[in-house]
Amino acid sequence: MTEHMEPIQGGLDRVLGFTIPDRNVRGRFVRLGPVLDEILAAHEYPPVLKQLLAEALVLCALMGGLLKREGSQLTIQAQAQGGVVELLVCDYREGELRGYLKHDPERFDELGAATDLQSLFGAGHLAITFDLPETGERYQGVVPLEGESLSAAMEEYFARSEQVPTRIRAAVQAGPNGSVAGGLLVQHLADGEEGRERLHVRMDHPEWEHVSILAGSLRAEELVDPELTPEEILWRLFHEEREVRISETMPLTRGCRCSVVHFEEVLARFPKEDRRDMQDENGIILVDCAFCSREFPIQD
């Protein structure tokens, strides 16, 4: 791997894909900047919950960055009861990210300094859904919302549902000039296979253990330091490997599918009687998009 890779826009708001061929490892690195601020600006969440949503968006970009086919979508949805956060949703489609959460302000006041998943969500689960329009396939994995962080729950998802040894690091930092969030995902594809059914999984494969330890040595400050480009981070971590191949880089944007046309189509699926109940005196139905907190007046 060369030491002189040119940074692209300081590495903000893009996903970088890479492989370490000798170790059958693939990875993604993401760093969010302005896109994150744009998504968070649509909501008025307390800092702790902004942090939570930011971490979810990093995970969404990391995992979305693994999708290969056009139009594929990845959705992360956390649903819970008895905690501060009742719902968290974010999705990724072709570089477009969006997300929101719903929380109970009264319970939030009792939260204190705890940020583990149990305190934030109570009891709940995390569902990861892949939509692959090309084949019409949709598959979903579900894991309990347990552990220190969403990243830890996501590692569980990979271990249990996909049976792919995976290491994830994520960090978020809010600053006076905006937020920065960073994430690294590395995973071991035994024998270089991709998407094949696995007969057995070794979580302690020697080639994987080595990479997992290196990835784990990445510090939170490095993840969110915009002065350190993703390429520099990969070099720091893996410069002793014979080869680290940068496979692709994908720009990220804040994107939402809400529009008057979209909501007209959604409303058209309701029976006429129901639509009449939703109308105001001028025959207008107000629909709001939870992702961007915008209201759309739809003339029925």
Give residues in contact with Zn ion (CB under 5 A): 256, 258, 289, 291-292
Concatenating the DSSP letter of every residue in 33-83 gives SHHHHHHHHTS---HHHHHHHHHHHHHHHHHHTT--STT-EEEEEEEEEES
Please report which helix (H) or strand (E) contains residue 238, including its range: helix 230-238
Name the minimum Å distance from CB 295 to Zn ion: 10
Q: According to the 3-state scheme, what is the secondary structure of 258-284? A: CCHHHHHHHHHCCCHHHHHHHCCCCCE
Name the minimum Å distance from CB 95 to Zn ion: 16
Rounded CA-CA distance 256/291 in Å is: 7
* Identity of the residue, 152 or 256, whose beta carbon is nearer to Zn ion in the bound complex: 256
Please report which helix (H) or strand (E) contains residue 210, including its range: helix 206-216
Name the minimum Å distance from CB 73 to Zn ion: 15
Name the minimum Å distance from CB 85 to Zn ion: 20
Q: Partners of 175 in the beta sheet?
A: 178
φ/ψ bin of 162: left (φ > 0), alpha (ψ from -120 to 50), beta (otherwise): alpha
Name the minimum Å distance from CB 121 to Zn ion: 24
Rounded CA-CA distance 110/104 in Å is: 10
Name the minimum Å distance from CB 259 to Zn ion: 8
* Identity of the residue, 185 or 292, whose beta carbon is nearer to Zn ion in the bound complex: 292
Q: If we measure between CA atoms, which residue out of 61, 36, 16 comes closest to residue 231?
A: 16
* Identity of the residue, 256 or 267, whose beta carbon is nearer to Zn ion in the bound complex: 256
* Identity of the residue, 43 or 205, whose beta carbon is nearer to Zn ion in the bound complex: 43
* Identity of the residue, 98 or 169, whose beta carbon is nearer to Zn ion in the bound complex: 98
Return all residues near 10 (Cβ < 8 A) that are at least 6 apart: 33, 226, 227, 229
Q: Partners of 169 in the beta sheet?
A: 184
* Identity of the residue, 58 or 287, whose beta carbon is nearer to Zn ion in the bound complex: 287
